[in-house]
Structures are given as C-alpha cells and as structure tokens.
Structure 1
Amino acid sequence: MAKPKKYYSSASLITAVLFTSLLISVSVFYSCGANIFSVEDDVIMGKEIEQEIIADQKQFPVMQGHQDIKDYVSGLGKYVLENSKAIKYKNTFPYRFEVIQDDSTVNAFCIPGGFIYVYTGLIKFLDNEAALTGVIGHEIAHAERRHMTQRLTSYYGVSVILSLVLGNNPSMLGEIAANLFVGLGFLANSRADEEDADNYSIKYLTGTKYYPGAITFFFDKIKEEQRIKGETPGELEGFLSTHPLPQDRIKNVNLKLSKIKPKPDPTKGLFTEKYQEMKSKLPR
C-alpha cells in the first residue's frame, strides 16, 4: 500500500519562510547592532518616557524655577548641536536638555529621541564648562547613535520583530516605553556603546571653542576622588556600577585625541570661571 502524500498549504509555507527569515534577521541584528525601530519610533518612545518622568517628581525631581541654571545647561547642549556638522538628527530629534535637582547623583542620561537629563550632583562635581559640555556631547551621541533602541532590539528580539513587522500590536511602542521607564537602567549601556559615545563627544567638540577631550576631566575627577577617599564615594557608586572603569575610558579618549592635528591643548577652552559662577547659583 502506497504511503499517503503530505501536502502543505501555501499559507503555511509562506509563514514558515517568513518566520525563518525573521530568525535569520534576529541573528544579524545581534551580530551587527542593527535597529528594528525607526527614527520616528525613537521620538515617539522618548516623548512617552518624558511624560512619565514629568509625572514622577519623586524619582525624577526635574528642576522648577532657577531658569538661569536651566538655560545655561540647555545652552551648552544647543551650542553643540549648532556647531557640530557630525550630528545627523539635529533637525529630526526634538532635543531637550533638563536638569534634575538631585545632588546625591553624579550622572546624566539620555532617552530615545534626544531627551537629555543632567543631575545637579554632576554639575556640582565638575570643575569647568568644557567638562559638562563633554558629558552632554556624550549623551547626544547616545541619542544620535540610537544606542537604547539598539539594545531594545536585542532585548525584545523575535517577539518585537513579529509584532512590528506583522502589525499585530500597534500599542507595543507604548508598552516598551512604559517598561523602560520603570527601570531606566535595566538596559545599561554596553562598554562598546560608552566607548562609542566618548568618541563622538570628541568628534562633536572638535572645531568648537571647547577642548575636545573635555570628558576626560570627569573621569580624572572620579579617579582623584577614589584616591583621596580610598574607596568609591557613595554618590559615584551608581555611575560606576553601570559604566566602564574611568582609567579605561581615559586611555581610549587619549588615543583618539592623539590622532587630531594639531594636538588640542587641554589648558584652553575650559571656561572655568564662568562655570564656577553658575555653580554658585545652584540651590543648596
């Protein structure tokens, strides 16, 4: 007796091929850092997270009043945007720069779409305007290089790809934004992302009035604080738990700076007096 032939519907075959293709795509995404989210998705997600931050003043006490301080910080960010030709999405992302009034946190962060937050703890920790501008340039790089949505691509994987490609879950962006807000640090930047952002901070500041390697002043200050106190100060523990060691980042930045001709002078383009004047106006 002949064995019955097996027949497969064309729909099943198409589904199998599509799923196989998606699995292959995922492996490619993981290996090359691709991003399934569009630039427009970055903006949508960023705006949703921004609203969550505004609504949670206990965890994120965004500075109220003190317009001169907010204008100062925002002005540094706008200066970088206006004076660097290397910033691709300056007219696409709605760049905003906010100050979070929390002296116990020495950090800054960026959410998709160019929404950047700087803690007063970081402002007080740094010694000159160039250093803060270097950190802001680093955060701009996280937005421009779309590091967070790249990490989300790896984190959510096949489920997101299927839902977005097949259109089965139009509210998924909102869900992802909500989950991301619950723990903004749950997708800590990788070592490669941090190094990439440091490199682009140098690129953004090169040719401006600031010393292009100014972000190293931040790393130098961290090392000095560790040396003086013999341990990591409490206000720096959060930063160091999610970032590469400062000495490694200094080495990387110095290597990049060595390739710039003529060699930048680290004693120029700092604007220390102006910065100290601004710091004196910060609420205590």
Structure 2
Amino acid sequence: MFARFFAPLSSGVKPAFAAFLLLSSVLLTSCGDKNGDTVFFPIENDLQLGMQVSQQADSLYASKGQLLDRNSPNPRTRAAYAHLDQIVERILESGQVTYRDEFPWDVKIIDDKNVQNAFATPGGHIYVFTGLISYLDNEDQLAGVLGHEIAHADQRHSIKQLQKQYGISVISGLILGSEAGGLERVITQAGGQFLGLKFSRDYEREADEFSVLYLGATDYYACDGAAGFFQKMQALENRGTPPEFASTHPAPGNRIQDIQAHARQRGCKTETASNTGFQEFKRNLGL
C-alpha cells in the first residue's frame, strides 16, 4: 500500500493540499524509463499481482488437466522441467536482469499441443505451452521467447499498463487513503486480464531488445534467437493459421529485422547453439 511510504499528515492539513504534497512526493521519488513511463507502484505490487494471476492460471489449467507437475512421478516430465529450468537460469545469470533476486522466476509447462504461446505474469511467473515447444526448431528460438517474456516482467510492463488503464485518480485516492483496500481491489479486478494482456508496440519492441541483451550476455545462445521464433510464427500466419501468441503479441512487419539489427549493433553471437539436448527435451514431453 502507498500509505506506508508516507509520514502521517497533520489533521489540520486540507485534503486538496495533502493531495498535492503526496502526489508531488510520488512524482519526485518515482522513476521513469526510456519510454517516458513513470512507475508509481512499488515492486511489492508486482509480486502481489503476479501471485494472484499465477494462482488463477494454475487453477485454470489444472482444472483442464494441462498443468504439468514438475514433481511428477514420470521421470521424463521431471527431466523436461530440469532442461527448461536450465534455459531460464542461464538467462537470469546473464547479469542483465534487474529483478533477478526479487522475483521468483518459476516456469511451468502447459500441455496443450494446439497452442503456440508463452506468457509471463508480473513478478516473474512464466508459462510455456507444449504447442510452442513442439513447433520450434532449436533451443535458441525457445531462449529468445523466454528472454522476451522475462523482459516483460523485468521491465514491469504489466504494472505500467495497469497504471495507465486505471489512471491518476485511482493512484491519488490510494495516496490519500480515501480508498480503503483500493489497491488490492484494483489488482483483483485486473488479475484475470493478464492471461490475455496485449502490450503496446513500444513494450513489445523493448522486450525484443532485452531478449537480445539477455541472450547475448549468456555467451551461450544466439542473441537473435527471438528473430528465429518470429520467423516461425510468420510462417504460420502466412499459411492462414495465426498462432495464439500473435493475438497477445502484436507483430509489426519489421520486427524480425529490428531484432537482427539490434544483434548486429551489439555484436553478439548469432550462431545457433549446438548439442543442447533440445530434441531430447521435446521427446521427454512427447513432442
């Protein structure tokens, strides 16, 4: 809650002036990014919102029998999770993830071979569908997707979009304490929307750029792995079967070229990683 970040005000201070003082304090202490977005919410709210969205996602896919248990008695499922965890860990250990230690960064597999999709909640809960894994050719492409989704969480895109959606009036009410439990109510109302959240092109472009940064810093994956992924998605769209990923991740025509240009600018490795065990990983998932 915002209230704990501010000292109590004297009862003699007029509400309008109190609003001005408190809002000014937030504006002065909040930080902005290169897109000009000022983040009013503390990082704890990413964690709170992410936990709620993750619980909703777990419940939804578990009810369909699609949420794979990482502690399954099936050794192939456990091996698949170990491999996926290794990819995520390599990205997190790149030294470029801002909230490496603050977010849980757990990854879960949804067994739906008809869905080519992946998403991350605020606070770093990551979901990958077997339909996406099945369609990809190599681990660089999957690492590119994971880097992209990690960037959405690490750059706080969901919480920024929530902030834009609910506006300054809600924030002001929270600061003044005139909305008891207001933040929790906003988060509860918005939680379900994040399973199909559409980000702006600026946020998508930023996630692509950070994917290149993350992968390049691993010195293991081709840093433009996300470009290979989008080439696969473009092939599906050209056949008239757009993947679900395209419905939540707008794909401008120059996106592949932008990723490749960013990789050239950074001078990072673009050769496909070999001997990653990616095909065995797919076989362990029955793909």
TM-score (norm 2): 0.81
Task: Tell me which of 20, 25, 32 is aligned to 2:36.
Answer: 32
In structure 1, list runs of 5 or more residues that go unmatched. 1-8
Q: Which residue of 2 aligns with 1:5?
A: none
Task: Tell me which of 258, 263, 270 is aligned to 2:264.
Answer: 258
Give secondary structure in 2 for the equivalent of 1:131: helix
Give secondary structure in 1 for the equivalent of 2:109: strand
Task: Tell me which of 113, 116, 125 is aligned to 1:103.
Answer: 113
Q: Deviations over 1:235-266 (max 9, x none)?
A: x0x322232326421011111112123x6343
1:195–1:59 CA distance, 2 compared to 1 (3 A): farther
C-alpha separation in 1, matches of 2:65 and 2:209: 28
Identity of aligned residues (%): 31
Matches of residues 231-246 of structure 1 in structure 2 within 5 Å? Answer: 231=240, 233=241, 236=243, 238-245=244-251
Q: Which residue of 2 aligns with 1:119?
A: 129
* CA deviation after TM superposition for structure 1 residue 162, in Å: 2.0
Q: Which residue of 2 aligns with 1:200?
A: 210
Letter in 2 for 1:61: Q
Give secondary structure in 2 for the equivalent of 1:90: coil
C-alpha separation in 2, matches of 1:220 and 1:179: 36
Letter in 2 for 1:32: G
Q: Which residue of 2 aligns with 1:54?
A: 58
Q: Which residue of 1 aligns with 2:284?
A: 281
CA contact (8 A) 2:19 2:172 kept: no
Task: Tell me which of 40, 45, 54 is aligned to 1:41.
Answer: 45
C-alpha separation in 2, matches of 1:131 and 1:260: 18
Letter in 1 for 2:261: L
CA contact (8 A) 1:123 1:279 kept: yes
* CA deviation after TM superposition for structure 1 residue 100, in Å: 1.2
Matches of residues 4-153 of structure 1 in structure 2 within 5 Å? Answer: 11=14, 14=17, 17=20, 32-56=36-60, 57-58=62-63, 61-64=66-69, 65=72, 66-82=77-93, 84-153=94-163
* Larger CA Rg, structure 1 vs 2: 1
In structure 2, list runs of 5 or more residues that go unmatched. 1-11
CA contact (8 A) 1:180 1:186 kept: no
C-alpha separation in 2, matches of 1:71 and 1:209: 17
C-alpha separation in 2, matches of 1:217 and 1:92: 30
Letter in 1 for 2:223: P
Q: Which residue of 2 aligns with 1:154?
A: 164
CA contact (8 A) 2:113 2:131 kept: yes
Count of residues in correspondence between the two structures: 265
- Most deviating of 185-194 and 123-132: 185-194
Q: Deviations over 1:29-76 (max 9, x none)?
A: 8x8211211111111221122222222224693212322222221221
C-alpha separation in 2, matches of 1:166 and 1:60: 45
* CA deviation after TM superposition for structure 1 residue 185, in Å: 4.8
Q: Deviations over 1:88-126 (max 9, x none)?
A: 111111111111111121111111111111111111111
Q: Which residue of 2 aligns with 1:225?
A: 236
Give secondary structure in 1 for the equivalent of 2:128: strand
1:277–1:92 CA distance, 2 compared to 1 (3 A): same
